[in-house]
A and B are shown apart, each in its own frame.
Chain A
Amino acid sequence: MSGLALRGISKAYGDNSILRDVTIEAQSGEFVALVGPSGCGKTTLLRIAAGLDHPDRGSVWLGEHDMTAMQPSARDIAMVFQSYALYPHLTAGQNIAVPLAMRNLTVWQRLPGIGSLLPGQREIRADIQRRVLETARSLKIDHLLDRKPGQMSGGQRQRVALGRALVRSPAAFLMDEPLSNLDANLRVHTRAEIVELHRRAGVTTLYVTHDQAEAMSMADRVAVMMGGRLLQFDTPEAIYGNPAHVEVARFIGSPQINLLTGEVDAAHGVRIGGRLFTDGVRVTPGTSVTVGFRPEAIKLGGPGQAGLGASVGRIEFLGSEILVFLELARGEASLVAKLAPTEATAFAPGQAVTIMVSSGDVLVFGADGARLSVSPRMRMAANG
């Protein structure tokens, strides 16, 4: 068992910079999700970890070993591909056996015909067969071993691909959007299974996905990437509640976080439409900032109360919760509030309401998107 570290990775194709100085260190046994919109460089980073691509700068470490210059086959790393990349001419069982056959059998022993005459290969093959069956059982695909990929459903192929990665007991797992080709039901189901597999095997895992819900629900820590940069690498709770960058806040959470433009007043307070949202922001008075608050942070009240005036747009019923879409009275933005069904009964489309957010739930981001710390002491100092 060993940790997997990507240190200071940069990669460019011509003038097109794919990765800029990305550092991600997964602890031994940790499940790390790389998440970001398509084109953010997460798959390239994974391919660099696998050795399929080479970084322009930076290094890849498995435990204490620098693997940067190693061939993929020399790294003790297994990978699950988005398209599964099963060998279509081999049965499920043969597919799963490939990594073991490649490692345990010599070139001559692998030859069809002649290979079966060579000494020692029978025992090795029996051992491979046993381990393939063991792995297949743990994935509940032992009845499919004689089928070819073309005769299997997407979910079954996905398991075979997992099996091929699992069978060799690697030091680290790399998964490239393994669930994106499954239908929604199967995806949620398999999500739980992969987490369970990881818990049992305890193997360090790098998991690439564009689906923030997948990343948040599965990973011990989440690395959010945008435009080739690592914006934040932290636990799901911290990523959600304490985003370091406005893009992280925007990307994580469904429905999206509400973002409004605010002004910093002379007393370092943030005002939207003249209304004070929070205070103690360490920026020059007069600059504009982005103010964010999660849909569940919104409290709705009747018109005329202390807060932002708005009118109710459409209302979406989601069962355990209700989404209320709101149009600001000044018409500059629409927001969404997540309410419990009992709270929401009071509102109907077209109704005038007041949006109230507790200052503790307000996140402030500077012009460059970076999170600004908010501390009330600053305000007191400024006042003093």
Chain B
Amino acid sequence: MDSIALPAGAQAETSDPAAAARRSEAFAGWRLAGPAVAFLVLLILLPTIAVIALSLTDFELGYDGIRFVGLDNYLELLEDRTFLIALGNTLTYTLVVTPLSVFLGLGAALLIEAEVRGRALFRTIYFLPVVSLLVAMATVWQYLLHPTIGPVNALLRLIGIAGPNWLGGSDTVLLSLALIGVWQAVGFNMVLFLAGLTAIPRELYAAAEVDRAAAAWDRFWLVTWPMLGPTTLFVVTISVINSVKVFETVSTLTQGGPNRASEVLLWTIYQEGFVYLRVGYASAMTVVFLATLMALMVLQYRALDRRVHYT
């Protein structure tokens, strides 16, 4: 008891022991968060600030002079046809890949969850594209989609359709890339949905059955879909980010062509920054790219978060 009771003298030393305790607690908090904060600043905040700073200059790698040009880079962007095409293509790509990969991922997860046999096998098969190296798999896709020797067109010929030049035609190239993107993302989304599905209490399904939700469809709407809310929000977010970041397939298969039909944001930034070495200009593009992603995320969370139920 003695050790708990404050001696009378101790109170005189600090004017307000409660405030002192709060201060020391706050200090301990900062000390514990310190390493993480340091890394955040060093690895995320500083590079971002550096990119924003560079975007306001005409810095080019290999040239000595660096001049502050204000918003000139951004003004140039507005008139840069390549950049605008890249923006549009990225948007189209995202609009195709995100919904398809989310719903196919959910479908695969539901099918695997519903069947007891072969669960691990199917999970592995669907997850393979995620773990396989996309650059290496791109060669396979190049072969599959080859206009003359590719199996896809060979199959189409069998049923009397003349297949297009998938990756070579400006009408089909973006769609082909999007399908490869879906192929790669479905497995990842499926695993996330599977995790979400296992977290749904079984008793809810039992309750739904007793509550006359006789059809599987009713139970899906009553239990599965609402309970998957947080998972779906996360999956959609990740899918949007990954779609906007499409690069490897473009780089290995089409190089933005033909005729800039598969020009996407990251590819354009890469070209400007690392091929033409216009770092200042590429930085401006990067800032626009980041701002777009941020805006998308904010919008999405505003729109969906209120409707998502977290248990």
Contacts and interface: CB of A to CB of B under 8 A. Distances in A.
Nearest to B214: A73
A107 B218 contact: yes
Given A71-B214, A74-B214, A150-B311, A85 B204 contact: yes
Interface in B202-236: 203-204, 206-215, 217-218, 221-223, 226-227, 229
A240 interface: no
A52 B222 contact: no
A103 B215 CA distance: 12
A89 B214 contact: no
Interface in B14-73: none
Interface of B: 201, 203-204, 206-215, 217-218, 221-223, 226-227, 229, 309, 311
A79 B212 CA distance: 11
Given A85-B201, A89-B226, A99 B212 contact: yes
B305 to A, nearest CB: 14
A98 B211 contact: yes
Interface string A169-190: 0000000000000000000000
A319 to B, nearest CB: 33
B207 A107 contact: no
Contact of A52 (B209, B214, B309, B311): B209
A322 to B, nearest CB: 36
Contacts of B226: 87-90
Contacts of B218: 102, 107, 110
Given A73-B213, A78-B210, A164-B211, A85 B203 contact: yes
5 contacts: A72-B206, A82-B203, A102-B212, A107-B215, A164-B211
Contact of A87 (B212, B223, B229): B223
Given A89-B226, A110-B218, A150-B311, 5 more contacts: A73-B214, A78-B210, A85-B204, A87-B222, A102-B211
Contacts of A88: 226-227, 309, 311
Contact of B210 (A72, A83, A107, A110): A72
B17 to A, nearest CB: 36
Interface residues of A, number: 29
Contacts of B207: 79, 81, 85-87, 164
Contacts of A89: 226-227, 229, 309
Contacts of B206: 47, 50, 52, 72, 79, 81, 85
B132 to A, nearest CB: 37
Nearest to B213: A102
A51 B213 CA distance: 13
B309 A51 contact: no
A81 B211 CA distance: 12
A89 B201 CA distance: 13
A77 interface: yes
Residue among B204, B206, B227, B309 having the largest count of chain A Cβ atoms under 10 Å: B206
Nearest to B207: A85
A172 to B, nearest CB: 11
B204 A72 contact: no
Contacts of B221: 110
A82 B211 CA distance: 16
